[in-house]
Every structure is written in structure tokens, then in C-alpha cells.
Amino acid sequence: MTGEVRLAVLGCADVAARRILPAVASVPGVRLIAVASRDRGRADAFAARFGGEPVHGYRSLLDRDDVDAVYLPLPPALHAEWIAEAVHAGKHVLAEKPLTTSAADTARLAELAARHGVVLMENFMFPWHGQHRAVRRLIDEGAIGDLQSFAATFAIPARPRHDIRYRAALGGGALLDVAGYPVRAALHFLGGGLEVRGAVLRHDRDLGVDVGGAALLAAPSGVTAELSFGLRHAYTSGYRFTGSTGRLSVEHVFTPPADHRPVLRLVTGDGAEERTLPPDDQYSRAIEAFVAAVRGGPAPDIEVTVEQARLIDRVRALADEGRASRCGRAIR
């Protein structure tokens, strides 16, 4: 399509108010048309704050002819249903992560979007930040020699017990929430073909969800990736690379504010140095990428999203196998 992208929001979530709608307002070529909620009062409040027409009910929004694309920040357990509804309605979709709660649903929706000729994009925003291009350039130039291993962590402090992340029925848990960041980072830097070699999840019996864990992945090249994540931790957001002649690390890589100036730390046989990188707004960059794709530009690589969902499924399966084995030994 050409011209302005007419965007609507399907669900009045906190992330929409904090991150996405302010970014939409800063990006040319896209206009907020409508905001839908099952609670008319929430739709009215969002529309009063960000613009667009308040709409009561998701179906009413999808039936509109003046909407080209929808942003969907619903709870993860509702994604598969409403992404499918939006695609069948001919709408392009920007959906919050995770795209769905299973690899099977993710692959099915990717195929459905391709068949209907619409853009489907999972809203992991950090890969759009310029700091990761600077890191990749140094790795490719051999700044730390031959890459041997990668490690990444994303963990956040505990939330109130009623937080959506702790509600199993809505797709809560650390694996479906924060684990996606280090997994996506591994895919971003190491490429496809990753295999999960080990995994552990730590469960909270009262909440009924996993609240932390770790996974070991291996690339076809033999490079390993050690990933950790959690919902009851000191805030940690970083990655590091170890090579044959040096190491490279960056902190605050997954959710930096737009004015943050990343600091890259490089250690080699010649000594240690810090390089301060320019700030970047990954939230606006993600919206720009989605708008460009809707208007006929490069489409986001949905196969990366499908691969990520497969890896997340495999982490859960291996962790469950390990837990069952430990329980069996304890019983014996």
C-alpha cells in the first residue's frame, strides 16, 4: 500500500500506553485511528489520552474499513485467537511478544499471514537499536578473534502477585515473558539452527508459573549460548561474547530508554577499553520497521519468530524432562 498507515489498537495494555503509542505519535506515515477494549471506559480513557476513536469490543474494530493494521498487546494466551481474527479481516498485525504460547500456533499464524498477504510482526524491539549493529560489526571484524561463546541475561524484579506475568491461564511465566529476550539475542547474533542442549525452570507452586530459569544452546558452528532469565531478580539486562583473543560485553541492552548511551566494553591482549555509543530509540525504530513493511518495504523475518517459538518449546520440554527425572529419583 501507499500513503498513511491507519493503525488501531486491540487492547488497552500498559505497554501500549508506556511504550508503543508514544512511539506511534513520533513516527511519520502512521496515524492512530481507533482504540478497542472490552471495557468501554478503558477505551474512552486511552482515546482521550492518545487520540483515535474509542471502540467497545475487538470484533467491532476488526470490522472497520478505515483500519489497515492493528497493534495487539493482549495477554499472550489470547494472541493466537485474535491474531487469526485480524488476519482473516485483512489487517496487518504488530503483536506483542510472545507472538503465541506455542510453536505450533506461531507456525500456523505465520503461514496464515503469508496466505492472506498481510504483515505479521512480533514486537521484540531491542534488535532495532543501533548498538547491536555496532556489536555485530566488531565481532565480524575479528575484534575478539574467533567467537567461542555467547551469554545473555534478562531478569526483572518481582511484581505484585496479581501481575499478568504470574497468571498461568493468561500465558504468564518467565519462559514466555523474559526468556524471549536472550533467546532472540542468540538468534540475532548466532543465526538459525540453534539447538537446546540443556534447560532448567524454577517454578512457584503457589502461583503455578515458572519464575526463572536458564538454557544452554549450541550453534551449528559449535559456538555455545548460555541464557538466563527471571521474574524475581535484580534487574539484569546484558550480553557478553567470548572469543579466542578477547571478550566484549554490553549492559542494559534489552529495554534501554531513548536517551540511554550504551557503553561497550572490549578486553583484548592489548588492554581494556570502553566505547560509548550514540543513543537510539528502539521503540520508534520498531514502529518504523512495521510501517515500512505495511507500505511494501522489507518484511520482518517471520521465520526468526517461528524458530524462537520452537526453541522456547524445547526449553520447556527439556526442563520438564529434567524435573520429572529428579522427582523420580527422589521417589525411589
Instruction: Give catalytic residues, as residue numbers.
Output: 97
Phi, psi at 121, each rounded to 5°:
-135, 130
Q: How many Cα atoms occupy the beta-carbon half-sphere of 95 within 13 Å?
A: 32
C-alpha span between 132 and 189 (Å, rounded) = 9
Interacting residues of 228 by C-beta distance below 8 A, sequence separation 6+: 152, 153, 155, 182, 212, 213, 214, 215
DSSP state, 102?
S
Q: How many Cα atoms occupy the beta-carbon half-sphere of 244 within 13 Å?
A: 5
Q: Which three cell numbers mark 64?
A: 472497520
DSSP codes, 198-241? EEEEEEETTTTEEEEEEEEEE-TTS-EEEEEEESSSS-EEEEEE
Q: How many Cα atoms occupy the beta-carbon half-sphere of 280 within 13 Å?
A: 22
Number of H helices, E strands in the chain: 10, 14
* Angstrom distances, CA of residue 165 to CA of 106, 156, 159, 170: 20, 11, 8, 8
Interacting residues of 117 by C-beta distance below 8 A, sequence separation 6+: none
The residues pairing with 230 across neighbouring beta strands, listed in sequence order, are: 155, 212
Residue type, 149: S
Interacting residues of 209 by C-beta distance below 8 A, sequence separation 6+: 165, 166, 167, 168, 172, 173, 174, 203
Nearest partner of 154 among 196, 125, 193, judged by Cα:
125
